[in-house]
Amino acid sequence: MCNIPAWIKKHRRSKPKPTPKTKFQAEMPFLPSSRCSVDMSSTDTPSGPFFQLPFEIRSMIYAFAFGGDALHIDLVQEKVAWQWKGCMCRRNPPDIPPSMRYHWRGPWLDTCIKGKERAYRLQLEGQHPLGCFLTEDGKKLTTYLNIGIMGFLLSCRQAYTEGIEFLYSSISIKSEPLLLHLPKLIPPNRLATITSLEFVIDAHSKGPYNTRKPVFVPYTLPPILDNIAAHCHRLRSLCISVTIKNSSRIEDILDVLVLIWIDKFYRTKPLRNMRVELPFYNYKNIYAGTLWDGDLGFKEIKNPDHPSEKPKLTYDERSYWRCLNGETATMQSRLHERYPYPPLKWPVMDGEAMNVESKGYWLRGGFEGNGPMICTMATGFPPGSSYFSG
């Protein structure tokens, strides 16, 4: 007699085993393999009166109208799609340039894009129909953060070709995916126009440190620095801000590999204006007269004074300089009279001139834990404003 259950089992198609559900990963908006570029040779728009001015005068007008502010460019994944975000950086007031060592706010404190989105959201909800918040001089915040050059760029090809360089001359980035795939997301000719760049990089835990505290490493920093060195040919100013991922403690230790990687980048692409923001706890160790150095413990820091520098000993008159004059990096506490540019080289070898600049970069105190964010834009809002939290 035929075994019906066995026959059914033999001839029935087996169902594939269910695969665990995975989060949908949207494809990043990479540039196409073939892309037509817009340059001066392709401009066929008749020149107006403005473009009949000498290019030197037009450049001065561009710099006055569109220059002087950094442009935020971020790429974030929201739900099932990648979204480009951007606005002008208003983190610091116009009268506080990067040369003001203890007043200039670093990129780790930036909330410009977050503040703009918050303002638009409340405006759409009808809570602030006049454009949400006002700056100290009465401007709408949503207008204050707008890029302001887009209408001009879209007016004609020549306007786009000449104006786009000023838009990309100073860039601020917080998106790690964008930094990792920089040449695939931003055209190479745009990367080549960047003269000033600041970015934030997260360090992730790599395990216990002396059985008490975890050690954090920004593992994506080397490929990001390689991208910058390979594609940002006109770069003159760089600010790197290192933060601790998902940390609310200021005592977390940053691995010394960070400085070793940055040292290597500097030797490949030496810059006169280069600053690195370390988490506050690591920078405080330097201030105490010691340099944390991974499992090697602490090293003494010498405080050389160049003969042309006036002797000053107070904290707010000195900054820490990562000196790369020799094969081995050293730490110096130097007067910041020339900040953000290099101090004069000291000590000087026999036969060397006394006015030679030192090689290396400045260190700053930065990240202080993932506590409540405060408004850091130059808009006159009190610290801790709830408009920029959440």
> Does 340 sit behind a cis peptide bond, omega within 30 degrees of 0 on the bond before it?
yes
Rounded-to-10 torsion of CA 28, 233, 74, 386:
160
The answer to whether residues 336 and 314 touch, using CB atoms and an 8 Å cutoff, is: no
Query: Phi and psi (nearest 5°) for 75?
Result: -130, 115
User: Which residues of the chain fall below pLDDT 70?
Assistant: 1-2, 5, 7-25, 35-47, 119-145, 206-214, 246-253, 286-304, 312-315, 369-390
The structure's pTM equals 0.79
Q: What is the pLDDT of residue 36?
A: 66
Q: What is the pLDDT of residue 127?
A: 56
**pLDDT (tens digit, 9 = 90+) per residue, 336-370?**
889 999 999 988 888 888 889 999 999 988 887 65
CA distance 243 to 367: 5
Per-domain boundaries in the chain: 50-93+104-378
Q: What is the pLDDT of residue 153?
A: 86
Q: What is the pLDDT of residue 47?
A: 67
Strand partners, 322: 331, 361
Task: Report CA torsion sign: 276, 280, 281, 287.
Answer: positive
CA distance 270 to 80: 40
